[in-house]
Amino acid sequence: MPEHASRLAQQQAIFAAHLRDPEHAPAPPAAPERIALYRELFFNTLRDLVGSTFPVLRSILGESGWSALLQRFQREHRCRTPIFPELAREFLDWLGTQPPQPPFLHELAHYEWIELALALDEGEATPADVDPDGDLLDGLPVASPLAWPLAYRFPVHRISPQLQPQAAPATPSHLLIRRDAQDRIHFHEIDALGHALMSALHQDHTARSGRELIDRLLAEQLDAASLRALASERLAQLRARGAICGTRRA
């Protein structure tokens, strides 16, 4: 590497280290007011860019708490992506390595991030080889690739500055997030059975009819007979919401 290029790389590394951790990394030789301006621009961009993905978390922590958390993030984490929307995922991954204070912090952050992840997903709501009117019990039901079942220990969809549970309730929250053909994002609260059906459709790629899927899920349930009718209703409800887009065409 030429000498001038080596000096430039060294100066850039010093500058970047100072921007990430101004309290411990010395500033490069330049006018202090200019360095301060760059520091402010860098942090404000990070704060607002990441904050747009996590508005509830930001409101709960308050601006001072949010700024302190982001200062730790920029100091401790080395981002691997140059793509701005991916920065929120890097922040979420880093947050998962930190002590959860408050205890719902990481789950709430994941719930807020998932909207961005679904919005950026390049899949189609309804695959081309699907019959939207097919029989869900005798046919092979197909979950929309853009309908994701979620489960959280905390009721993340209700958390706000006014509601901050410090202990997880006995019953987890089962949610469904989906993107429709017009690219609008929808959130639904579903029960454990609906979540199990959607999860099975996404994870089990074996060709199973809706009836076989229900029988497999309920095989070890003592009240399987009564639950079968309820499971059939859930399949129909999930199709009505656009989470199941139909059945596989022969």
Q: Average pLDDT, stretch 177-196?
A: 94
Return the pLDDT at 17. Answer: 64
**Number of Cβ atoms within 10 Å of the Cβ of 89:** 17
Residue in 145, 129, 49 with CA at minimum distance from that of residue 91? 49
Whole-structure pTM value:
0.85
Residue whose pair of structure tokens reads 């017009």 in the numeric block: 182
For residue 139, pLDDT beyond 60: yes
Tell me: pLDDT of 29 over 90: no
State how far the Cα of 177 lies from the Cα of 76, in Å rounded to an integer.
Answer: 32
The predicted-structure confidence for 47-74, as pLDDT tens digits, reads as follows: 888 889 999 999 999 999 998 899 889 8
What structural domains does the chain harbor? 3-98 (no CATH), 130-248 (3.90.930)
pLDDT at 173 over 60: yes
pLDDT at 15: 67
In the predicted model, what is the mean pLDDT of residues 35-50? Answer: 80
pLDDT at 199 over 90: yes
Sheet with 173-179, strands from edge to edge, namely 147-152, 173-179, 185-190
Q: DSSP letter for 27, please.
A: P
